[in-house]
Chains A and B, each alone.
Chain A
Amino acid sequence: MGLSYTDTETGNHYMDMHRFGDWLAATGPSQAIQSSTWAIPTIQSVHILALALVFTTALLLSLRFAGLGLTAEPLGELATRSARRIWLLLVVLAATGALLITAEPGRTITNPVFYAKMSMLAVVIVLTLWLTHSARRVERPTAAQLVVAAVALLLWIGIIFAGRFIAYVESY
């Protein structure tokens, strides 16, 4: 069984996510997670814990650009420390997220909310990179940094909502 198909009218090749999901769900690792009663909630708990820490780090970073929160710590130091923590936690989130997709591909890879979540994540990563790099060059936050910090925080909130809505929105 191939994982891609060819559109008979245009001749274009497509990755068929349904076929890919069926294939993934039949693999050994997926079967192992599915057959366990505690694996999925355990992985989800680690995912939520990492999410709580990453969101709090992002919140305290954003607040610092508004002159709130841990203002006693120099902006550059706080930005460097926050960035390191955010990247580390994103690795944990990606690893646990990948396991959850492996366990239940039909729930995510054909779900539009999952792609909305990944798109917001991509933007938030770029914004966080810019924020934490630019913060090292200034002593006081600029207006542009404040705006980007606010947008990043809203995107994190969107990511949290999308994560929960994956469970409620039907896959195509």
Chain B
Amino acid sequence: MQQSFFEWLQNTPIGVAVGETWFPWVESTHVLFTAVVAGTILTVDARLLGMGLRKLRVTYIAQRILPLTWIAFAGAALTGTLMFMANATSYIHNKPFLAKMVLLLLLGLNMLYFHLLTYRSVEQWDNGRPAAPARAAGFISTVLWLAVIACGRWIGFV
């Protein structure tokens, strides 16, 4: 049953069109959006870790940079879905792909914990060195994003 859903997905007009014609374009666009997602988040993480943009407040950086992250994430998710549709039946058995999805889930949890709990006390560390939980969130995010990039590249090698 499960297999037939992915077969159906792959045989939809969109799945077929991406697979036969548009894959390189969709993939390049995915690289472009992913670069912005990872690049902007690593920039914010660097500030949380006290490794960059130290003169600017954490809330200011978040307010100015994270909207770009979300726009790019929407683009990356859309293009990623299109690529998945083109080869759904093989991606569901592709270990780097599955690992990447798990890593993205963990990144979402890390982000939720940071924004809902850690960020509440941001006024206390907005200007200076971020509190330990904020530094931990930045570190976890950095490590996981590096792993996401590596998994993304490895999908094409297995």
What residues of chain A have their CB less than 8 Å away from a CB belonging to chain B?
40-42, 44-45, 48-49, 51-53, 55-57, 59-60, 69-73, 157, 160-161, 163-165, 167-168
Q: A41-B157, A45-B149, A48-B149 are in contact. Are A165 and B24 (CB under 8 A)?
A: yes
Chain B residue at minimum C-beta to C-beta distance from A63: B68
Question: Which 5 A/B pairs are nearest by Cβ-Cβ distance?
Answer: A56-B39, A52-B35, A164-B28, A52-B39, A45-B150
Shortest B44–chain A CB gap in Å is 11
Cα of A135 to Cα of B25 in the assembled complex, Å: 34
Chain B residues with CB below 8 A from A167, complex form: 24
Chain B residues with CB below 8 A from A157, complex form: 32
* 0/1 string, B4-46, CB within 8 A of A gives 1: 0000000000000000000010011001101110111011000
B56 at the interface (CB under 8 A from A): yes
Cα of A45 to Cα of B155 in the assembled complex, Å: 11
Chain A residues with CB below 8 A from B38, complex form: 49, 52, 56
* 0/1 string, B38-74, CB within 8 A of A gives 1: 1110110000000001011000110011001000000
B153 at the interface (CB under 8 A from A): yes
Q: A44-B153, A160-B31 are in contact. Are A55 and B36 (CB under 8 A)?
A: yes
Q: A49-B38, A59-B68 are in contact. Are A160 and B24 (CB under 8 A)?
A: no
What residues of chain B have their CB less than 8 Å away from a CB belonging to chain A?
24, 27-28, 31-32, 34-36, 38-40, 42-43, 53, 55-56, 60-61, 64-65, 68, 146, 149-150, 152-154, 157
17 contacts between A and B (CB under 8 A): A41-B150, A41-B153, A41-B157, A49-B149, A52-B39, A52-B149, A53-B39, A56-B38, A56-B39, A56-B40, A60-B43, A70-B53, A161-B28, A161-B32, A164-B24, A164-B28, A165-B28
Shortest B12–chain A CB gap in Å is 23
B56 and A73 contacting across the interface, CB-CB below 8 Å = yes
Chain A residue at minimum C-beta to C-beta distance from B43: A56
- The winner among B28, B43, B60, B146 for most chain A CB atoms within 10 A is B28
Further pairs besides A49-B38, A157-B32: 4, Cβ < 8 Å: A48-B149, A70-B64, A160-B32, A161-B28
Q: A160-B28, A164-B28 are in contact. Are A73 and B34 (CB under 8 A)?
A: no
B146 and A164 contacting across the interface, CB-CB below 8 Å = no
Chain B residues with CB below 8 A from A53, complex form: 39, 42
Cα of A157 to Cα of B28 in the assembled complex, Å: 9
Give the contacting residue for A56; candidates B27, B35, B154; CB below 8 A.
B35
